[in-house]
Amino acid sequence: MREHGGNLDVAQQRFGGTAEDWIDLSTGINRVSYPDVGVDQRQWSALPSRSEIESLHDAARRAYATSAPIVAMGGAQAAIQLLPHLAPRGRARILAPTYNEYAGVLSAAGWDLAEVSELAALAGADVAVVVNPNNPDGRRHDRDDLLALLPRVGRLVIDESFADAVPGISLAAEAGRAGLVILRSFGKFYGLAGLRLGFAVGSEADIAALAAMTGPWPVSGAAIAIGRRALLDHDWARATTARLADDCVRLDAAAQSRGWMLVGGTPLFRLYETGDALAAQETLARGLIWSRVFQQKPGWLRLGLPGNEAEWSRLLAVLSR
């Protein structure tokens, strides 16, 4: 199993408590979730209709400011699982360090895989993967630089799972171009990861191929109803973006007072150099606050943002010890 945040069972085994006792800041999932999640009984008892799925697609196009073909899936992860099957096996290049599922999935499917550290080194790949903004360091890439790379690769996959709060960096509007595939996560920004909803945006050929692989009912009726409602709630999105920006400043200040140095991040998580991330994680865990560490970077600790003042108080108290 590849390492991920959200592994609260590990935290409980080591430090005790129930899941309800913990503040899980190990993921980049918004802890203030979209509130209007009620659905009709019909959404549970009937298969989703084609018109309902298309209404979700239309809402996603509006939210992501694109007119390109789009397909809903069970989270961005579902799209990642299908990427190796969009083209014959060849050379896959991933801009790293980044979300580790890409390397695992492509390698398991038999692709010639290499991780590179610079955008230009992706040139010549049959499939090139860029996470923008990046997880875990928040690295961002200019739209023009990414578009300039497009004719130099067979297929350019841009993972925009953390782009909702920084929409200016998105290439979704360009996704109709041949070879460009944009992945979007719904659950992170809207705080509803358990709904398992995401989208792929791309050319007609690529989206048709992905849609054929996902089958006739790629997401649940509940996901359609809640997702459509949330994606069209622009007031909530604007207010959430503003709150997250303020909270990032607050968290960075608290981490700096602890002596941690900001490496980077997004509006949904921050990454700090702590000197000893395992020791920092244990300090937080003794206050029943879970965080994310990285084997390859022993000083790095990633923290999500608390969701309310009670959570902030607990975190600030631990950091001040």
Domains of the chain: which residue ranges? 8-33+235-320, 41-232
Q: How far is CA 125 from CA 2, 109, 228, in A?
A: 24, 16, 36
**Tens of pLDDT, residues 302-313:** 999 999 999 999
pLDDT at 145 over 80: yes
Give pLDDT, residue 1: 58
Q: Record the pTM.
A: 0.96
pLDDT of residue 279: 97
What is the arithmetic mean of pLDDT over 38-54?
A: 95
**Average pLDDT, integer, range 102-118:** 97
Residue 4: per-residue pLDDT: 86
Decide if pLDDT at 202 tops 90.
yes
- Position 3 confidence tier, pLDDT thresholds 50, 70, 90: confident
143 pLDDT above the threshold of 90: yes
What's the pLDDT score for residue 2?
Answer: 74
Specify the fold of 41-232. Answer: Aspartate Aminotransferase; domain 2 (3.40.640)
pLDDT in tens, 249-268: 999 999 999 999 999 999 99
| CATH code for the structural domain at 8-33+235-320 | 3.90.1150.10
**Per-residue confidence at 191, pLDDT binned at 50, 70, 90?**
very high
Q: Is the pLDDT of residue 176 over 90?
A: yes
Express each pLDDT in 58-68 by its tens digit. Answer: 999 999 999 99
Report the C-alpha gap between 56 and 29 in whole angstroms.
21
**What value does the mean pLDDT take over residues 207-227?**
97
Dihedral (CA of 139, 141, 142, 145) sign: positive
